[in-house]
Amino acid sequence: MPDIAPKFPPPAKARVTSKADPGKLLAHGLKVSPAVQAQAPQLADTMSPDRALRLIVASCLDHILPNAAVVAAGAGAPEHLHQARVGLRRLRTALKVFGHWSGDVQPEWEAQARALFARLGATRDSDVMVATLLPQLQAAGAPAGLVLEMADTGSINDDSAAALREAAIGTLWAQLTCFAHGEPVDPAAGSHLTLSTLALPVVERLQRRLLDDASNFALLDDVQRHSTRKRIKRLRYTLEFIGSLFRRKALRRCLDRLQPVQTALGDYNDLVVAEAACRAWADRDTRAWFAVGWCAARRAEALSHATAALAAYKPEDGLARRPSQAD
């Protein structure tokens, strides 16, 4: 990979906690800081595309790094891992959707973020099963011993912590930090169009693709349905990244219309993952066939809900008509 260090000033050493944090945690009876949530970047319509992308990437790092540090230390709760993965997905969206806005973006960054996201996925899937599926299975009459044994698989495990401690990942964070806080090689380079004018076609393209999926969602296979779910998230994150360029009410309507679709497809995907895990478990414990049957029945119901939610989705027209810096 090309060395990008000469292009940017070296970043200050990142701190994910302050010296006062241990005392604050003790005062509240906490072992670690609560998981950090995503915050949208504040963009200006007159800003260059390059500068806008750097601010977007910076906001992704502000989301990822504190959560990843806790997970890497082996001290986090499932929510820390979840937020780290959400931040990675947001980062990947930024690089995929807006990566062409800067000539300093390296293609390896998205690939490395994708690989790390996948490595953290097994633990996250297990955590979801423990938190949501197993209590429902127990209520439905699953063998108590089975539920207890399956529950033992859920937690932040050593593999997730080890993945985040690898030297290559540290290098990735350093390169992204240099990019986020650096200046373009040619500050004058950029488009003569406003940022909102550049961003709107991206949103419209993502919306069209989602509507295409909605028209035949019931006919897709599970891999294709999962791709639809990822497109919904990509659209949501894109809207959040550029949201400061548009009126708050119009943006809120866009996000509110996406929310039930994302929830329905998320519920369906959780059942697909859970059913596959239960089938694997049934290979060594026949009691797990109860769980397989339960998941299969709920999956059919969830598919119906997801199909209906997609069919009801209508893009917001007002966002394109009224770009503004404030309401």
CATH of residue 2's domain is 1.20.120
Does the structure show a pLDDT above 70 at 47? yes
At 9 the pLDDT is 34
Higher pLDDT, 263 or 287: 263
* Nearest one of 74, 72, 81, 73 to 35, comparing CA atoms: 81
pLDDT at 122: 75
Confidence at residue 223, expressed as pLDDT on a 0 to 100 scale: 92
Q: Which of 25-34, 70-79, 196-205 is predicted with the least confidence, judged by mean pLDDT?
A: 25-34
Q: What is the pLDDT of residues 172-184, one digit of tens each?
A: 999 999 999 998 7
Q: Which domain holds residue 281?
A: 193-327
The number of distinct structural domains making up the chain is 2
Residue 286 lies in a domain: yes
Distance, in Å, from the CA atom of 84 to the CA atom of 67, rounded to the nearest integer, reads: 5
Q: pLDDT above 70 covers what percent of the chain?
A: 82
Q: Tell me the average pLDDT across 67-88.
A: 91
Which residue in the block uniquely carries the two structure tokens 């400061």? 244
Identify the pLDDT of residue 127. 73
Could you report how far apart the first and last alpha carbons of the chain are, in Å? Answer: 44
Spatial CB neighbours of 220, under 8 Å, sequence gap ≥ 6: 213, 228
Shared-domain flag, residues 64 and 177 = yes
The reply to whether 167 and 212 lie within a common domain is no
On whether both 198 and 165 belong to a single domain, the answer is: no
121-124's contacts with Cβ under 8 Å and 24+ in sequence apart are 121/85, 122/159, 123/81, 123/155, 123/156, 123/157, 123/159, 123/160, 124/78, 124/81, 124/82, 124/85
Residue 4 or residue 198, greater confidence: 198
In angstroms, the CA 253 to CA 267 distance is 22
Domain shared by 108 and 239, yes or no: no
Of 164, 189, 214, the last residue of a domain is 189
The C-alpha atoms of residue 174 and residue 123 are separated, in whole angstroms, by: 25
- Domain membership of residue 132 (yes or no) is no
The 10 Å CB-count burial string (b at 16+, else e) for 35-66 is bbeeeebebebebbbbbbbbbbbbbbbbbbbb
Q: List beta partners, residue 246.
A: 323
Kindly state whether residue 283 falls inside one of the protein's structural domains: yes
The verdict on 179 and 286 lying in the same domain is no
Q: Which two tokens stand for residue 34?
A: 């609560």
Structure confidence at residue 21 (pLDDT)? 54
